[in-house]
């Protein structure tokens, strides 16, 4: 039996950050990962010709101090997402090609979008980042879906369409799926809706040279043989001062503390002996993952740039509701990344691969013209089919979850500590949130070990 101070379950950015911090504090650590790779929801694939392309999480942006500091510390570099040219927007049956931040819509629609977003941002700013369930208005907001909030505060079809596609793009879920309190908590933790949906000045501003998985690869390289791959956990046996992590085909690992750095839905599927307290189990039952099919469509060159388009497109009616230019920094090959999110991902996942590809290309043709029909490669990842993710971008709370069970989200249980971007207080759901959670879990563990 392998015996260490701390065992970390999950070699995504959260788990690797926690392990790195603990090693720097002189602790003996082992990281066990079910997959045959590190990175969790960050994964690089390969373009024709051999260059990397991100098929999982990929962007960083201003205000994400923790991940930007980590990137600099690891010696990695970023480059800006391509933004030059006209963007395309389809809302409420009208198509607009525009530059800048605001699409060309009728003044009444623009006014409604502006007032609804202002209401949302002001409400989100009032929700405490660390304990949203403790806010005076939490129960009222948590008792309704985000769709209900939208219907009450957006007066026009365009206003409702804008907030709906924003919810799909941010949560990979439908507004009717999630609590309005969770939506406000998430938005407030990023500093407002613009910070989440914008490219320049927002969460989609920059990419990592070599692909985002390089963050996890660099962390794992520094940890060396402390990271063990291909080791899915089947059970966790714990007492107040001891934990044993069990596997199907390998000896168990014994530790004084454990960090479980996996999404809540996956943490809830492990077998715990004794069983976890009811509040923690009820929480994980009410935190499903979002659903997204991410597609990277590769062309010989970024033809849309020559045609005056930025490669950014949004639609409230097309399955591929969000598109960005995902071309490598050297400008070739051309890549459009498109997302099928929420209910669109549900429908697309039920198609054959050939029919799904045809649907994606049809939407790209509608956005950018007939040249989009003839790619040189097509890459897609349905994250709901990934056994050790079961969805993306992150988990979300169903109505009445935060106010009933929210305190169980981060609270340690005996020797068990929780990490992962869903447990962050800033930039929940993003790489920055994962880094924050890893730092916090490491502090908890180190303090517990020091006091034992």
Confidence of residue 124 (pLDDT cuts 50, 70, 90): very high
| Within a domain: 365 | yes
Within a domain: 283: no
Instruction: Using the CB atoms, write b or e for 260-279: b if 16+ within 10 Å.
Output: bbbbbbbbbebebeeebeee
Domain CATH for 17: 3.50.50.60
Note whether residue 70 is domain-resident.
no
One domain for residues 319 and 366? yes
Strand partners, 357: none
Number of domains comprising the chain: 3
* Single pTM value for the model: 0.97
Please check whether residues 10 and 32 belong to one and the same domain: yes
Same domain (yes/no): 245, 189: no
Residue 91 in this model has a pLDDT that exceeds 90: no
pLDDT at res. 128: 98
Residues 147 and 217 in one domain: no
Does one domain contain both 379 and 307?
Answer: yes
- Looking at the fold, whether 171 and 220 belong to one and the same domain comes out as no
Please give the pLDDT value at position 164: 96
Mean pLDDT value of segment 312-317: 95
Judge if the upstream peptide bond of residue 8 is cis by omega within 30 degrees of 0: no
CB-side neighbour CA atoms (13 Å) of 57 = 29
pLDDT of residue 207: 98
Among candidates 81, 60, 47, which has minimal Cα distance to 332?
47
Query: pLDDT tens digits for 341-395?
Result: 999 999 999 999 999 999 999 999 999 999 999 999 999 999 999 999 999 999 9
- Is 230 contained in some domain? yes
In a domain, residue 326? The reply is yes
Return the CATH number at 122.
Answer: 1.10.405.10
Residues 160, 134 share a domain = yes
Please give the distance of CA 367 from its chain centroid, rounded to a whole number.
26
How far is 232 from 194, CA to CA, in rounded Å?
38
Is the pLDDT reported for residue 452 higher than 80?
A: no
Using pLDDT thresholds of 50, 70 and 90, give the confidence band for residue 56.
very high
User: For residue 168, which of 406, 338, 285, 368 has the smallest C-alpha distance?
Assistant: 338
Judgement on whether residues 370 and 342 belong to the same structural domain of the protein? yes
pLDDT band at 106 (very low <50, low <70, confident <90, very high): confident
Read off the pLDDT of each residue in 8-23 and give the average, rounded to a whole number: 98
> Which domain, by its residues, includes 134?
106-197
In a shared domain, residues 156 and 185: yes
Cβ neighbors of 284 (< 8 A, separation 6 or more) are 264, 265, 267, 268
Give one word for 422, left, alpha or beta, with left for phi > 0 and alpha for psi -120 to 50. alpha
Strands 206-208, 78-80: pairing is antiparallel
Alpha-helical segments (H) within 127-208: 138-142, 146-153, 157-171, 180-190, 193-197
pLDDT at position 46 is 97
Q: Locate the DSSP E strands across 203-268.
A: 206-208, 227-228, 233-239, 242-247, 253-260
Does residue 88 sit within a domain?
A: no
CATH number of the domain encompassing residue 370: 3.90.660.10
Based on the fold, state whether residues 126 and 188 are members of the same structural domain.
Answer: yes
Determine the pLDDT at residue 93.
83
Residue 290 to residue 182: CA distance in whole angstroms: 13
* 11 in a structural domain: yes
**Average pLDDT over every residue of 143-150:** 98
Residues 377 and 327 grouped into a single domain: yes
- Residue 10: band (very low, low, confident or very high) from pLDDT cuts 50, 70, 90: very high
- Are 170 and 316 within one domain? no
User: Of 336, 367, 385, which residue sits at a domain end?
Assistant: 385
Cα-flanking dihedrals φ and ψ of residue 136, to 5°? -60, -35
| Residue 68 located in a structural domain | no
């Amino acid at each position: 039996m392998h015996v260490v101070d701390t065992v970390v379950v999950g070699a995504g950015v959260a788990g690797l950050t926690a392990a790195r911090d603990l090693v720097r504090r002189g602790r003996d650590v082992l990281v066990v990962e079910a997959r045959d790779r590190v990175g969790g929801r960050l994964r690089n694939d390969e373009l024709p010709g051999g260059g990397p392309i991100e098929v999982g999480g990929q962007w960083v942006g201003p205000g994400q101090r923790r991940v930007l500091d980590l990137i600099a510390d690891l010696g990695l570099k970023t480059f800006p997402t391509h933004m030059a040219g006209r963007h395309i927007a389809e809302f409420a049956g009208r198509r607009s090609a525009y530059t800048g931040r605001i699409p060309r819509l009728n003044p009444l629609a623009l006014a409604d979008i502006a007032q609804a977003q202002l209401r949302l941002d002001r409400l989100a700013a009032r929700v405490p980042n660390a304990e949203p369930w403790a806010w005076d208005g939490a129960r009222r907001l948590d008792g309704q879906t985000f769709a209900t909030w939208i219907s009450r505060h957006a007066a026009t079809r365009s206003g409702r369409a804008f907030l709906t596609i924003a919810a799909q793009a941010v949560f990979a879920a439908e507004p009717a799926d999630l609590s309005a309190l969770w939506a406000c908590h998430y938005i407030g933790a990023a500093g407002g809706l613009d910070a989440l949906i914008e490219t320049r000045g927002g969460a989609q501003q920059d990419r990592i040279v070599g692909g985002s998985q390089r963050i996890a690869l660099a962390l794992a390289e520094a940890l060396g043989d402390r990271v063990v791959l291909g080791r899915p956990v089947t059970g966790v046996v714990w007492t107040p001062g001891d934990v044993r992590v069990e596997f199907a085909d390998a000896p168990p690992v014994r530790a004084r503390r454990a960090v479980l750095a996996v999404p809540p839905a996956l943490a809830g599927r492990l077998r715990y002996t004794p069983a976890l307290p009811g509040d923690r189990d009820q929480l994980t039952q009410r935190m499903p993952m979002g659903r997204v099919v991410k597609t990277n469509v590769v062309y010989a060159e970024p033809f849309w740039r020559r045609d005056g388009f930025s490669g950014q497109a949004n639609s409230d009616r097309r399955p591929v509701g969000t598109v960005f230019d995902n071309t490598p920094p050297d400008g070739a090959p051309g890549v459009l990344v498109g997302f099928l999110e929420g209910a669109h991902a549900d429908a697309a996942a039920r198609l054959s691969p050939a029919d799904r590809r045809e649907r994606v290309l049809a939407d790209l043709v509608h956005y950018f013209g007939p040249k989009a029909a003839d790619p040189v490669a097509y890459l897609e990842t349905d994250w709901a089919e990934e056994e050790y993710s079961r969805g993306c971008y992150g988990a979300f709370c169903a109505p009445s979850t935060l106010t009933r069970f929210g305190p169980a989200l981060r609270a340690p249980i005996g020797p068990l500590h929780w990490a992962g971007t869903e447990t962050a207080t800033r930039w929940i759901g993003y790489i920055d949130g994962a880094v924050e959670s890893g730092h916090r879990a490491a502090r908890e563990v180190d303090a517990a070990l020091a006091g034992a």
